[in-house]
Amino acid sequence: MTELIAVLKKFNPTKVAVEANFGEQRLAQQYADYRAGKCDLSRNEIQQIGFRLARELGHDSVYAVDADGEFPHMRVAGYAKASGRAAEFDALMAEIGAMVKEEGAYFASHTILQSLLYLNSDDKVRESVGFYFREAHFGEAWDWAGADLLADWFKRNIRIYSNVVQITASPAERVLVIFGAGHLGWLRPNFASDPAYRLRTLAEFGN
Domain end, chosen from 154, 180, 198, is at: 154
93 and 142, same domain (yes or no): yes
197 and 130, same domain (yes or no): no
Which amino acid would we find at residue 38? K
3 vs 183: CA distance, rounded Å: 24
Nearest 5°: CA angle at 174, between 169 and 180?
105
Number of domains making up the chain: 2
Range of the domain at 97: 73-154
79 and 133, same domain (yes or no): yes
149 and 180, same domain (yes or no): no
87 and 145, same domain (yes or no): yes
27 and 63, same domain (yes or no): yes
133 vs 126: CA distance, rounded Å: 10
96 and 147, same domain (yes or no): yes
Q: Can you give the pTM of this predicted structure?
A: 0.93
148 and 169, same domain (yes or no): no
Q: Which residues contact 198 (CB under 8 A, 6 or more apart)?
A: none
79 and 148, same domain (yes or no): yes
Domain end, chosen from 111, 131, 154, is at: 154
113 and 51, same domain (yes or no): no
Tell me which residues of the chain have a pLDDT lower than 70.
none
Q: What is the pLDDT of residue 24?
A: 79
Altogether, the residues listed in the chain come to a count of 207
Q: How far is residue 42 from each of residues 48, 103, 155, measured CA to CA in Å? A: 7, 22, 29
Q: What is the pLDDT of residue 23?
A: 77
Helix (H) or strand (E) holding 19: strand 15-21
Q: What is the pLDDT of residue 80?
A: 96
Q: What is the pLDDT of residue 156?
A: 95
96 and 149, same domain (yes or no): yes
Q: What is the pLDDT of residue 69?
A: 84
pLDDT per residue as tens digits for the range 33-68: 999 998 888 889 999 999 999 999 999 999 999 998
Domain end, chosen from 132, 154, 176, is at: 154
136 and 196, same domain (yes or no): no
